[in-house]
Structure 1
Amino acid sequence: MGMPTDIKVIDCMLGIPNAEDRSDWFAAFRPLIKDAQTLEQFSMPAQYMFKDVPTTGNPGDFVKWTVEQMDRFNIEKALVGWNDDDTSRRAKELYPDRFFFDVPCDPNKGVDEVRRIKRLHSEVGISAISVFPSGTLPQVAINHKYMFPLYTAAAELGIPICLNVGIPGPRIPMETQKVEHLDEVCWFFPDLKIVMRHGAEPWEALAVKLMLKWPNLYYSTSAFAPKHYPKAIIDYANTRGSDKIIYAGYFPMGLSLDRIFGDMPSVPFKDEVWPKFLRENAVKVFGL
């Protein structure tokens, strides 16, 4: 049958720009970048990996513009990062049924970050927290002790944590994002839902093994055009992992929705996998 066209899609990684210049999205880890090409030529630090990085222009109302782009591709809801700014607040106020939020977190901030998570969970109703381990400053590994207060907070609140895993796109060290680090965390926090982001490459086979081992470990397809979804992930979704693989895009950070949904019909998922991939798994994992 191929990709169905009547499913109301849930996108588990989408961004709302707050200006035509989006360099502030990557400011937190800019001090880690040392090569001249990235610093002097790239508008986003993994630009060498993406062709035709989307441009937004200046539509005036970026929140409304984002919803219009979602409507073009039947995206009913999207997970976006909560930045505690006017853009985030307007998105929640004006479109409460279209957006749900994760809080990007810095494990280096210790208990202050835990307090912030709990405050935003109470005030905003956040659906997840997230960490980019290679993008923390200084870098903090997935299984480092600084991460454990964040895992504890998420487990206590009953919300997932989204973690970038695998070699990072930006030209910064990879050690903190090795997939093997997840094993200890899944063992220590058996009730915590963990969602892998950004591919897990080149350890995608290990990611599949760990998902087989740990019930609450999931994989999202963020930052990958569908034509580049790892074969191990597609095979797993089509066999024992149909409940574990979640659609996530990367618009407008690196991929356009035209590119994503132009590629999507060619992904060889089985018919019964598509509803879970595009919607049902996100509903389950993020409590929608």
Structure 2
Amino acid sequence: MRPRDIRVIDTMLGVPLKEDRSDWFDFFRPLLRDKQSLEQFAMPAQYMFRNIPAAEGVDDLPGWTVGEMDRFGIDKALIGYVEGSPLNDIVRTRFADRFVFDMPVDPNGGVDTVRAIRRAHEAVGLKAISVFPCGCVPQVPIDDKRMWPIYSLACELDIAVAVNVGVPGPRVPMAPQHVELIDEVCWFFPELRFVMRHGAEPWEALAVKLMLKYPNLYYSTSAFAPKHYPKAIVDFANTRGADKIIYAGYFPMGLSLERIFADLDAVPFKENVWPKFLRDNARRAFKID
């Protein structure tokens, strides 16, 4: 049973500014080809999620988000930074103690992307850079040369990278996110703190093997309801991987906090794993005070 007194750090959460959040996924819309994804889904992996959270009639969506965090004991959350977004000032003026930023990027931007990351880090003190390899336009494999400047900069700035791995939920090709592509990255950048997002399935056993191999490789549970955490990941957390598995939700992109925290009670983590999973591992991997 999950302890109730642990103040949680959520390493994947979104703060909406309007109820229609479909524009959150516009960046990879050019990759979508099937009619259902293009015309019917509110979010591109909707076939995998039921009861996507809504906040109908809510005027203050950032305030609503923080209220939901309070309900479920979430102390801090890692959210995406978008240059020029009004959310940046809202967060920093009203909720500076509740949020830290990662910056989603497309490595196809080359040196312009590197400059944008530097600007963001100077502005808000980024804790991570995040990349969706299968959602870049065109797609960028995890070990591609276009990723190398991103990894180098993360090492220079001493921040983490959070990278989607495994078969993507949206109906786009999966090859850029094969878990085996992480191996050369971790070998070449031994100081890089690399956090695997979105499951690593169906190669979760390989993800465990690589975490045993590389000290700075981590796994987050983003976009998975806890009842669907891969068994290999739960077993690893309960044995040699207690310091490697990091809690991440997917609110409000696809999962409600009610669903996540109700499911968590049934996850068979050992007692000593819970504080590491819910807080301590995130503090170390993302250097969150």
TM-score over 0.5 for the pair: yes
- Which shows bigger deviation, 275-284 or 116-125? 116-125
Q: Distance in 2 between matches of 1:114 and 1:237?
A: 34
Cα distance in 1 between the residues matched to 2:9 and 2:120: 22
SS state at 2:9 partner? strand
Mapped to 2, the partners of 1:88 and 1:49 lie a distance apart of 30
Instruction: Tell me the equivalent position of 1:115.
Output: 115
CA drift at 1:93: 2.0
Looking at structure 2, the residues matched to 157 and 62 of structure 1 have their Cα atoms a distance apart, in angstroms, of: 32
Whether 1:76 and 2:64 are equivalent positions in the alignment is: no
CA distance in structure 1 between the partners assigned to 2:57 and 2:74 by the alignment: 22
Distance in 2, Cα, partners of 1:89 & 1:210? 39
Structure 2 counterpart SS, 1:71: helix
TM-superposed deviation, 1:199 = 0.2
State yes or no: 1:171 paired with 2:171.
Answer: yes
Per the alignment, residue 30 of structure 1 pairs with 29
Paired residue secondary structure (1:162): strand
Q: Report Cα offsets for 1:118-167 as digits up to 9, x if no partner.
A: 11111111111100000000000000000000000001000000000000
Partners of 2:99 and 2:58 lie apart in 1 by 19
Distance in 1 separating the partners of 2:57 and 2:182: 40
Partner of 1:270: 270
Residue segments in structure 2 that go unaligned for 5+ positions in a row: none
Aligned equivalents of 1:256, 1:123: Cα separation in 2: 30
Whether the aligned pair in 2 keeps the contact of 1:183 and 1:210 (CA below 8 Å) is yes
Answer yes or no: is the 8 Å Cα contact 1:19–1:58 preserved in 2. no
User: CA–CA distance in 1 between the matches of 2:136 and 2:77?
Assistant: 24
Using the size of structure 1 for normalisation, the TM-score is 0.99
Amino acid at match of 1:243: D
Does 202-211 or 36-45 show the bigger shift?
Answer: 36-45
**Structure 1 residue runs of 4 or more that deviate by more than 3 Å after TM superposition:** none
The CA RMSD over aligned residues, in Å, is 0.7
Moved more, 50-59 or 274-283: 50-59
Tell me the secondary structure at the aligned position of residue 122 of structure 1: helix
Tell me how far apart the structure 2 counterparts of residues 247 and 20 of structure 1 sit (CA, whole Å): 26
Give deviations 1:102-123, integer Å, cap 9, x for gaps: 0001100001111111111111
- The residue aligned with 1:126 is 126
Code of the aligned partner of 2:21 = R
2:90 matched residue in structure 1 = 90
Q: Which amino acid aligns with 2:145?
A: K
Paired letter, 1:13: M
> Are 1:198 and 2:198 matched, yes or no?
yes
Q: How many residues align?
A: 287
Show the 5 A alignment for 1:45-60: 45-60=44-59
CA separation in 2, counterparts of 1:276 and 1:186?
23
Any idea what the Cα deviations from partners look like across 1:68-117, whole Å, max 9, x if unmatched? Answer: 01000000000000113111221122111100000001100001111111
Of residues 84-93 and 277-286 in structure 1, the stretch that sits farther from structure 2 once superposed is: 84-93
CA distance in 2, matches of 1:50, 1:233: 21
Deviates most, 49-58 or 198-207? 49-58
Q: 2: distance between equivalents of 1:219 and 1:56?
A: 30
Name the SS for the 1:103 alignment partner: strand
Cα distance, 1:54 vs structure 2: 1.0
After superposing the two structures, state which structure 1 stretch, 276-285 or 81-90, moved more: 81-90
Deviations along 1:6-63, whole A, 9 cap, x unmatched?
Answer: 0000000000011111011000000100001111110000000011111122411211
Match of 1:42 in 2: 41
Q: Which residue of 2 aligns with 1:5?
A: 4
Q: CA deviation at 1:169?
A: 0.1
- Look up the match of 2:261: 261
> Which residue does the alignment assign to 1:223?
223
What are the ranges of 5 or more consecutive residues in structure 1 without an aligned counterpart?
Answer: none
Q: Distance in 2 between matches of 1:147 and 1:122?
A: 21
Mapped partners of 1:178, 1:123: distance in 2: 33
In structure 2, distance between residues paired with 1:10 and 1:133: 25
Query: Which secondary structure does the structure 1 equivalent of 2:271 belong to?
Result: coil
SS in structure 2 of the partner of residue 266 of structure 1: coil
SS at match of 2:168: coil
Aligned to 1:189: 189
What is the match of residue 287 of structure 1?
287
Tell me, yes or no, if the aligned pair for 1:18 and 1:87 is still in contact at 8 Å.
yes
Which residue pairs with 2:20 in the alignment? 21
Distance 2:119 2:88 in 1: 16
